């Protein structure tokens, strides 16, 4: 009996050890799963917080850009001569001119409305002057953005519109004068498009003012209410909006972090299960077989990949060779054309030089003939005087042609802008007269000078005027408008009423060899832009609208 009991005790010990090992393994698995869940959850939560911070910063930058642009509109309009005149002399013509100007600015800047208040807070001009609910004549003296702007020069207020009932930010700036402010210019900005973009994201985006009230929200129901608290399990980020006294908040549910933790824990548990399910002997056999099969598979895969890569390399080499041959042929054609143009320039300069000698002889003979005329031959005297004037004009043209053909020195100095423009207009006058193009010119003071080099500045102007004339070929009522904006940097704008720039040409306007002309090289604007940069300025094209012509802006530093 005692032997039986001992035998049963010895048989129960291995089972007990196996149970203890199994329990230890199970506890280790649970601990590993818990640790895996915690690490994966924390990493995912940190990643989500960083992503929200990046999104918040991006949205703050967008919001700051919109506010800066609209503040600039109010600041610029506060010093506008037409605005000052409308407040000082509020005639119908002055007020109407300002309203039309505000309407154009409202469309260009995407603001909701722009309006001008006099010293009493009454709107005298507005961008919606032609709408049934126009602001013109309305009294806004009760608005804090009016009174604060008169006191401090600038003010902001976020409120509902009294007419539109739509929320928006009002940016105001006083219109100063020697005797105090004449009035206030107000720009209203609405953020519907921005809020709709936020609403399409999974996060909740809110903007609060200095009092903690929500003024912008991806969910309209939260607007004009206190900032809601961060919910349990949510992740949030906050950024200040510089210069506005606002704060931008982004809230997102933390379910993504929980899912990441569960996925990692499940993966680890699955791996543990696979490890425990296999036997040592079977695992070794499977490992050897798997390694042999894997080696064979990798060998075949490496061989196939090497063949595929070599085939792809050969195909790429053939394509590159064909492309290089095409580029070579194109460049050869372009070099031939450039050589023709250079030769034509040399011939033109030579002809202009050779014309001077017979021209001087004609002038001398005409002057001698006038001295030899009897006093009773007035008709002959007028004819000879006309010949002298024609020789002077021919001499002026040949002088400009030889000057334009001269090699630029590369040295910058003060250049009279009016002289350079007159020379360019003279060189392009024949085609302009042939097309009957109307030319509108600015008043340029004779002493106005820019830092440039005469020959290269004339080259830019001739190129821009010629391009405008070519764009007006066959157009009814052709017109070229040249305007000047004075300042530390002078802006000379050349516009035409031609068909405008196509999207394809506009996208590659300053790219070498990109041209819409059948015989053009596509280098004129590229060279002109580089010359302008050498002068310390720039050459840009205004975004074109179909049927509204093209406008180029040449910015040049003003000479001291």
* 1-275: CATH number: 3.30.450.20
Q: How far is CA 183 from CA 29, 138, 142, 148, in A?
A: 76, 14, 14, 12
Instruction: Give me the pLDDT at residue 272, please.
Output: 72
pLDDT of 371 > 90? The answer is no
pLDDT of 173 > 80? The answer is yes
DSSP state of 517: S
Q: What are phi and psi of 245, to 5 degrees?
A: 75, 20
Pick from 31-45, 110-124, 308-322, 349-363: least confident: 349-363
pLDDT band at 328 (very low <50, low <70, confident <90, very high): low
CB 149 within 8 A of CB 172: yes
Instruction: Give me the pLDDT at residue 356, please.
Output: 62
pLDDT of 5 > 50? The answer is no
Mean pLDDT for 507-529 is 70
**d(Cα 223, Cα 218) in Å, to the nearest integer?**
9
Which residues does 106 contact at the CB level (< 8 Å), separation at least 6? Answer: 112, 113, 114, 127, 128
**d(Cα 467, Cα 544) in Å, to the nearest integer?**
15
CB 544 within 8 A of CB 525: no
Q: Which residue has the higher pLDDT, 480 or 396?
A: 480
Q: Which residue has the higher pLDDT, 313 or 7?
A: 313
Mean pLDDT for 256-285 is 72
**d(Cα 111, Cα 169) in Å, to the nearest integer?**
10
Mean pLDDT for 379-393 is 73
Question: Which of 223, 226, 252 has its CA nearest to residue 56?
Answer: 252
pLDDT band at 450 (very low <50, low <70, confident <90, very high): very high
**d(Cα 253, Cα 42) in Å, to the nearest integer?**
14
Q: How long, in residues, is the chain?
A: 560
Instruction: Give me the pLDDT at residue 115, please.
Output: 93
pLDDT one-digit tens code per residue, 541-553:
888 776 678 999 9
Indicate where the chain has its CATH 3.30.565.10 domain(s).
412-557
Please give the mean pLDDT across all residues of the chain. Answer: 81
Instruction: Give me the pLDDT at residue 360, please.
Output: 67
Q: Which residue has the higher pLDDT, 233 or 538?
A: 538
pLDDT of 385 > 80? The answer is no
**d(Cα 186, Cα 183) in Å, to the nearest integer?**
10
CB environment 380-395: b (16+ within 10 A), e (fewer): eeeebeebeeebeebb
Taken in order 343, 345, 346, 347, the sign of the CA dihedral is positive
Q: Which residue has the higher pLDDT, 235 or 102?
A: 102
β-strand partners of 237: 250
Indicate where the chain has its CATH 1.10.287 domain(s).
324-406
Looking at the whole model, is its pTM more than 0.75? no
Q: How far is CA 120 from CA 88, 136, 138, in A?
A: 13, 13, 11
The string of DSSP codes covering 76-135 is HHHT-HHHHHHHHS--HHHHHHHHHHHHHHHHHHT-SEEEEEETTSBEEEETTTTSTT--
pLDDT of 192 > 70? The answer is yes
CB 99 within 8 A of CB 91: no
User: C-alpha angle 340/341/346, rounded to 5°?
Assistant: 95
Dig out the tokens for 454 from the structure.
């005469």
CB 398 within 8 A of CB 352: yes
Mean pLDDT for 458-469 is 91
Mean pLDDT for 458-476 is 90
Dig out the tokens for 198 from the structure.
């936020």
Instruction: Give me the pLDDT at residue 183, please.
Output: 93
β-strand partners of 370: none
Instruction: Give me the pLDDT at residue 271, please.
Output: 77
Q: Which fold has domain 324-406?
A: Helix Hairpins (1.10.287)
**d(Cα 558, Cα 484) in Å, to the nearest integer?**
12
**d(Cα 120, Cα 353) in Å, to the nearest integer?**
70
pLDDT band at 336 (very low <50, low <70, confident <90, very high): very low
**d(Cα 404, Cα 543) in Å, to the nearest integer?**
30
Mean pLDDT for 503-510 is 77
pLDDT band at 285 (very low <50, low <70, confident <90, very high): confident
Please identify, in words, the CATH class of the domain defined by 412-557. alpha beta
Dig out the tokens for 281 from the structure.
């002997």
Instruction: Give me the pLDDT at residue 464, please.
Output: 93
Instruction: Give me the pLDDT at residue 449, please.
Output: 94
pLDDT band at 524 (very low <50, low <70, confident <90, very high): confident
Q: Which residue has the higher pLDDT, 120 or 43?
A: 120
pLDDT of 104 > 90? The answer is yes
């Amino acid at each position: 009996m005692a032997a039986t009991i001992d035998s049963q005790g010895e048989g129960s010990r291995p089972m007990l050890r196996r149970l203890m090992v199994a329990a230890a393994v199970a506890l280790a698995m649970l601990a590993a799963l818990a640790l895996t869940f915690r690490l994966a959850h924390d990493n995912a939560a940190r990643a989500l917080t960083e992503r929200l911070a990046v999104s918040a910063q991006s949205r703050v930058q967008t919001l700051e850009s919109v506010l800066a642009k609209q503040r600039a509109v109010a600041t610029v309009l506060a010093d506008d001569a037409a605005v000052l005149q409308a407040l000082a002399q509020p005639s119908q013509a002055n007020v109407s001119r300002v309203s039309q100007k505000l309407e154009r600015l409202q469309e260009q800047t995407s603001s909701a409305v722009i309006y001008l208040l006099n010293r009493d807070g009454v709107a005298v001009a507005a961008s919606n002057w032609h709408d049934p609910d126009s602001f013109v004549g309305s009294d806004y003296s009760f608005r804090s953005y009016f009174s604060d702007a008169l006191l401090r020069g600038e003010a902001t207020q976020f409120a509902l519109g009294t007419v539109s009932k739509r929320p928006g930010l009002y940016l105001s700036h006083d219109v100063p004068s020697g005797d105090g402010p004449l009035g206030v210019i107000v720009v209203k900005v609405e953020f519907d498009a921005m809020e709709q973009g936020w609403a399409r994201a999974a996060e909740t985006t809110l903007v609060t003012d200095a009092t903690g009230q929500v003024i912008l929200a991806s969910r309209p129901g939260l607007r004009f209410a206190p900032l809601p608290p961060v919910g349990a399990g949510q992740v949030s980020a906050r950024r200040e909006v510089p210069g506005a006294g606002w704060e931008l908040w982004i809230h997102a549910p933390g379910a993504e972090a929980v899912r990441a933790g569960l996925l990692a824990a499940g993966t680890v548990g699955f791996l543990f299960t696979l490890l425990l399910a296999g036997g040592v002997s079977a695992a070794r056999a499977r490992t050897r077989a798997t390694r042999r099969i894997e080696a064979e598979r990798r060998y075949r895969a490496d061989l196939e990949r090497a063949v595929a890569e070599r085939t792809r390399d050969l195909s790429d080499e053939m394509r590159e060779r064909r492309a290089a041959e095409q580029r070579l042929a194109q460049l050869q054609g372009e070099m031939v054309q450039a050589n023709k143009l250079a030769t034509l320039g040399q011939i033109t300069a030579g002809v202009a030089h050779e014309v001077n000698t017979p021209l001087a002889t004609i002038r001398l003979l005409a002057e001698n003939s006038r001295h030899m005329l009897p006093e009773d031959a007035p008709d002959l005297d007028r004819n000879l005087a006309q010949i002298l004037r024609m020789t002077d004009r021919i001499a002026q043209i040949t002088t400009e042609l030889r000057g334009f053909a001269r090699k630029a020195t590369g040295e910058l100095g003060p250049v009279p802008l009016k002289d350079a423009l007159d020379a360019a207009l003279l060189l392009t006058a024949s085609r302009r007269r042939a097309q009957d193009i109307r030319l509108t010119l600015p008043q340029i003071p004779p002493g106005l000078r820019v830092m440039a080099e005469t020959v290269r500045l004339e080259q830019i102007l001739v190129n821009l005027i010629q391009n405008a004339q070519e764009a007006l070929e066959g157009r009814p009522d052709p017109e070229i408008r040249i305007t000047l904006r004075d300042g530390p940097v002078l802006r000379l704008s050349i516009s035409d009423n031609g068909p405008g720039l196509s999207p394809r040409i506009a996208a590659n306007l300053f790219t070498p060899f990109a041209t819409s002309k059948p015989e053009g090289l596509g280098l004129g604007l590229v060279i002109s832009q580089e010359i302008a940069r050498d002068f310390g300025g720039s050459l840009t094209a205004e975004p074109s609208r179909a049927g509204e012509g093209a406008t180029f802006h040449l910015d040049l530093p003003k000479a001291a």
